[in-house]
Structure 1
Amino acid sequence: MDEQQNQVTEEQQTDVTEQEEQTASETQNPETDAMENDEMDDDDMDMDEMMEDEENFMALYEESFKRFEEGEVVTGKIIQIDKDYVLVDIGYKSEGLIPIREFIEPDGTVAAEIGDEVEVMVERLDSEDEGVMVSKEKASKIKVWEEIKVAYEEEGIVEGTITHRVKGGFSVDIGVPAFLPGSQVDLRPVRDLDSMVGKVFTFKVLKYNRKRSNIVLSRRVILEKEREEQRSSTLQNIHEGKVVEGVVKNITEYGVFVDLGGIDGLLHITDISWGRVKHPSELFGVGQTITVKVLDLDLERERVSLGMKQLKEDPWTTASDRYPVGERVSGKVVSLTDYGAFVELEEGIEGLIHVSEMSWTRKIRHPSKVVSVGDDLEAVVLDIKPSNRRVSLGMKQVAPNPWDVIGEKYPIGTTIEGRIKNITDFGMFIGIDEGIDGLVHISDISWTKRINHPGDVYKKGDEVRAIVLHIDRENERFSLGIKQLEPDPWETISERYQVGTKVNGLITSVTDFGIFVELEEGIEGLVHVSEVAKEKVKTPVGQFNVGDTVETVVVNINPKERRIGLSIKRLEEDEQEGYFNEYMASNKPASSALGEAFQRAAKIQAQNDDNGEEEE
């Protein structure tokens, strides 16, 4: 490179020497002067052009000897590019050299072409070989510092790119590194600071020190100025009832703050939609542009109330026309309470399905047992009151009431089969149709068995047969019976156990008032305490034991009350009377008068005993 520079310098010196010798020879030759004067007389225009060319040549000649100072910024033209340097003609005796690295882009390409003009700073002059080193980067920095000075003094702005985060703020590239404090980034604190990196903004120069290479920037000052200008314009043009556009600035649980242009307005959650809004964040996002209506304006406190639902007509004004009573409608479940479910028919109109209107047959304790939030369903309008903004809906009315046809489907006396769904102290519920259960009362389980609890005989889930006994449509009751599947054994009890018949039975219970004796399965008779023995007995307890077999005689039968009277005492009396008759037959000579008197006394005693038992 030094050889090329020396060669270029020698060629320039040779050209200058030849021009000087030619000029001197022409000046000393009188013949030449005469010829030139003749030519000038012939053509003045050619002479003028020659003089002008000579003046330009002299200017270039003088310019070639121009002196530069180190640190000076000049403009040059690229004349050569090689692998190490870029040669720039800056009008000096020799070209300036710029390292090729100053032209290499991040992607590795060289951003330089022959003929391009560039600003460079003179770094070093070599008076001996008349070489010069120049820098494009340093020239750019000098220019940047000059721009920073102008921007600071004249309240201007600079543009830069946020490169990375540093302690207390950001580093910004504006041609030279600068510092942007975190408090000067935006009007409000920035939550995601990393999102700012890599973005280009304009900044105000708060202060700078070139010696220390210290520059402090602010973006907030610019934003505040812009906001103030917008605010003044907005306040002049805004009024109640005006429809404006704004940008969502902040979202809270009670509403949305909207930037209308330098002034914020509140869109309350109740003014977002005629329908139900759980949280504004479901409908809006920060930075979103929305259209709103000014509902109220307080210029003194600079408070603006906004509305969005007011841009549409209130749906309740014509709700009666769209939802008449009896109309079948569809909607989505939006909320559940203990007493029912709210169904959205359209935006702004919700109807209530009370738990009592959810099923014809089931007793719904909570609506969650039937529906869930988000379910789509059909219902029937039962009542509508637009003034109160209420619609009553019925879900069970979509299908016919099964109790209206249950009597036709299952007439009284019909035998049905079903599964036991529930067992209580008073009976069992058997599933008949979907939603309809029949009750078998504990008294209708068996004709003869004494059942303390239905669970002692059946369990939940058992399949049973029963007969329809009664249907109460108004009270929605369905009565069933199991014992009615067989004849009532008490209807023929008199035929099987006549009065005076001797029977054997098993003692099932011993009480103070008598002894219960089982004659057959489910059929028990009572030996009253007065019928236990001829002698007066206060209580049979202790004299008889449960499980013992005892012989008795039937003394009375009451099929309606399902009672059989038994007697042990009568059995003994009959035996004694038999002995007496045998004795009298074998002793005929005895006085007949005495025998008759004894028989009369025995009959009187028997009658008295019968009367006493009936009274008891």
Structure 2
Amino acid sequence: MSDSQMEQSFAEMFEASEMEMKPDLRVGDRIKGRVITVSEEMVYVDTGTKSDGVIEKQELLDKDGVFALREGDEVELFVVAVQGGQIRLAKALSGEGGLEQLRQAMEEGIPVEGKIKETCKGGFRVRILDKTAFCPLSQVDRRPVDDPEALVGESMSFLITKVEERGRNIVVSRRALLDRELVETLAEFLEKASVGDLLQGTVSRLAPFGAFVELAPSLEGLVHVSELGWSRNVSPEDVVAVGDQVTVKLLKVDDQGKGIRLELSMKQAMEDPWSRLADEVQVGAKLSGRVTNLAPFGAFMEIAPGIEGLVHVSEMSYLKRVHKPGDMVAVGDSVSVMIKSIDPQTRRIALSMRDAEGDPWDGVAERFKKGQVVQGTMEKREKFGMFVRLEPGIVGLLPNSRLERAEDEAYAKAKPGEVLPVVVDVVDGDKRRISLALPGVEQNEDWRGHTAQETAPMGSLGEQLKKAMEKREE
């Protein structure tokens, strides 16, 4: 081989070598690489090409100013320069930059670091690459901003959306960057998660209709208020708080053209409370229930998380006749109840408020004896007599036939609420009836009859009549 041929061969080999070493990355490319080496000031990253990338260690500090990466950890960065076979990486463009660098960042979609200097009409003035840009209020976040002034002084990454008038009109958007990151995060999430999976998340915010749970950075799903738990008629703040770690079930991935929505459930990630019903409640038990709903026929009450029973209107009180459940309880009230029956098959539980308080007629015959004088409260008059309350839930009847014999006009003129002395005559606990008499009237009649028998002579006709009456009574 001649010298000229050898020189040509070496030249071709050198050129081929240069081609092999030339990286196939361009400025603006986003790469995912693993940390190879960490020096005192720099971090070297495997870019997946012939050349490794390098980034300043300072740029990879976390929010607490700590460098937490280790060799082998994966990082996501942007290519900001390719010079002499070296690939410079960064999280975003920052520092001073010219018009060309601004346009390059816009065309390549490279994030730029910016600091919000002040608010202005319609948005914010942001300092980027030593220039002032405008960020519309609607473009600073994916959610509405309630207090724009609170963002002044904050440093964050933006995408440049417009560069005009030789750099005098620059428009940036943080929302566009967040949307782009969300699309990538969602794609990665859907590669690993499927409908029906149980997932771990963090409650990120609350709304009247439910709780949002963050499943991955900036990726939220909604737990509707009906799916927060087995209990009904609760507010999100009654169940969870922002920052809570929760387990959720992925119910649905809904794409309606305006972005994908994730529907989640905390309830379906929990055990069905009816599966442990026997350990929670038993027939005859007295406990406290929370009124969850009212119906014309009664009140529904939660007696354990996710377990409800019904207090029928007829089971609300022994003391009075209840026509509407709302006359006794309201939604949210805590009420003592007794469990009357449980049907696990139909998931129905019958409850009683009146039995929890106790039947006032229990032991009534021991408390009220025949001939006992009691101070009663007049309740109402009927055509057959006057009802008198002896104690809460215990009402007796003073018949008209006895009222007519009253010598005291107080009984004839008595109004509801007035207190009158009455005598217990007949007590029937089974039929819940008490017959009353007037004090002294029957006693006086007996006394007068007894005196007449002693002072008036009885003739033969009188003796026969007396015997006939006695025989009739027998």
SS of match in other structure, 2:184: helix
Do the aligned partners of 1:320 and 1:384 also contact (CA within 8 Å) in 2? no
SS of match in other structure, 1:317: helix
Aligned to 2:340: 382
Structure 1 position 424, deviation (Å): 4.7
**1:465 is aligned to 2:421:** yes
Structure 1 position 199, deviation (Å): 2.3
Distance 1:352 1:434, change over 3 A: same
Aligned to 1:182: 137
Structure 1 position 170, deviation (Å): 1.3
Distance in 2 between residues matched to 1:321 and 1:203, nearest whole Å: 57
1:525-544 to structure 2, matched below 5 A, reads none
Distance in 1 between residues matched to 2:272 and 2:296, nearest whole Å: 29
**1:408 is aligned to 2:366:** yes
Q: Which among 267, 270, 282 is matched to residue 312 of structure 1?
A: 270
1:430-441 to structure 2, matched below 5 A, reads 430-441=388-399
Aligned to 1:24: none
Structure 1 position 375, deviation (Å): 4.9
Aligned to 1:244: 199
SS of match in other structure, 1:437: strand
SS of match in other structure, 1:466: strand
Q: Which among 473, 478, 491 is matched to residue 434 of structure 2?
A: 478
Aligned to 2:63: none
Cα deviations by residue, 1:370-397 (Å, 9 ceiling, x for unpaired): 5555554543321011222221122333
Q: Which among 231, 236, 250 is matched to residue 186 of structure 2?
A: 231
Distance in 1 between residues matched to 2:149 and 2:312, nearest whole Å: 53
Aligned to 2:122: 168
Do the aligned partners of 1:423 and 1:455 also contact (CA within 8 Å) in 2? no
Q: Which among 305, 328, 347 is matched to residue 305 of structure 2?
A: 347
Distance in 2 between residues matched to 1:350 and 1:328, nearest whole Å: 14
1:553-564 to structure 2, matched below 5 A, reads none
Structure 1 position 323, deviation (Å): 1.9
Q: TM-score, normalised by structure 1?
A: 0.49
Structure 1 position 315, deviation (Å): 1.0
Identity of aligned residues (%): 35
Structure 1 position 158, deviation (Å): 1.8
Aligned to 1:364: 322
Distance 1:333 1:153, change over 3 A: closer
User: Given residue 155 of structure 1, which amino acid in structure 2 is its aligned partner?
Assistant: G
Structure 1 position 300, deviation (Å): 9.6
Aligned to 2:355: 397
Q: Which among 173, 177, 188 is matched to residue 222 of structure 1?
A: 177
Cα deviations by residue, 1:526-571 (Å, 9 ceiling, x for unpaired): xxxxxxxxxxxxxxxxxxxxxxxxxxxxxxxxxxxxxxxxxxxxxx
Q: Which has the higher contact order (CA 8 A, sep 6+)?
A: 2
User: Given residue 434 of structure 2, which amino acid in structure 1 is its aligned partner?
Assistant: F
Structure with a larger share of its residues in helix: 1
Structure 1 position 345, deviation (Å): 2.2
**1:271 is aligned to 2:231:** no
Distance in 1 between residues matched to 2:241 and 2:181, nearest whole Å: 23
Do the aligned partners of 1:171 and 1:180 also contact (CA within 8 Å) in 2? yes
User: Given residue 381 of structure 1, which amino acid in structure 2 is its aligned partner?
Assistant: I
**1:158 is aligned to 2:112:** yes
Do the aligned partners of 1:447 and 1:483 also contact (CA within 8 Å) in 2? no
Structure 1 position 176, deviation (Å): 3.0
Distance in 2 between residues matched to 1:276 and 1:369, nearest whole Å: 22
**1:206 is aligned to 2:164:** no
Structure 1 position 476, deviation (Å): 1.5
Distance 1:432 1:401, change over 3 A: same
Distance in 1 between residues matched to 2:341 and 2:149, nearest whole Å: 57
Structure 1 position 233, deviation (Å): 0.7
Distance in 2 between residues matched to 1:143 and 1:465, nearest whole Å: 103
Aligned to 2:32: none
**1:419 is aligned to 2:377:** yes
Cα deviations by residue, 1:489-532 (Å, 9 ceiling, x for unpaired): 79979x99xxxxxxxxxxxxxxxxxxxxxxxxxxxxxxxxxxxx
Aligned residues: 354
Do the aligned partners of 1:467 and 1:485 also contact (CA within 8 Å) in 2? no
Do the aligned partners of 2:134 and 2:170 also contact (CA within 8 Å) in 1? yes
Do the aligned partners of 1:384 and 1:390 also contact (CA within 8 Å) in 2? yes
Distance in 2 between residues matched to 1:190 and 1:357, nearest whole Å: 52
SS of match in other structure, 2:345: helix
Structure 1 position 483, deviation (Å): 6.8
Structure 2: runs of 5+ lacking an equivalent: 1-93, 453-474
Cα deviations by residue, 1:408-431 (Å, 9 ceiling, x for unpaired): 221223222223244455433323
Distance in 1 between residues matched to 2:355 and 2:326, nearest whole Å: 19
Structure 1 position 322, deviation (Å): 3.2
Aligned to 2:151: 196
Distance in 1 between residues matched to 2:166 and 2:262, nearest whole Å: 50
User: Given residue 324 of structure 1, which amino acid in structure 2 is its aligned partner?
Assistant: Q
User: Given residue 269 of structure 1, which amino acid in structure 2 is its aligned partner?
Assistant: V
User: Given residue 159 of structure 1, which amino acid in structure 2 is its aligned partner?
Assistant: E
Aligned to 1:444: 402
Distance in 2 between residues matched to 1:405 and 1:467, nearest whole Å: 18
Aligned to 1:293: 249
Q: Which moved more, 1:220-229 or 1:406-415?
A: 406-415
Distance in 2 between residues matched to 1:201 and 1:340, nearest whole Å: 57
Q: TM-score, normalised by structure 2?
A: 0.63
Do the aligned partners of 1:446 and 1:482 also contact (CA within 8 Å) in 2? no
Distance 1:401 1:156, change over 3 A: closer
SS of match in other structure, 2:361: helix
Distance 1:288 1:315, change over 3 A: closer
Distance 1:285 1:163, change over 3 A: farther
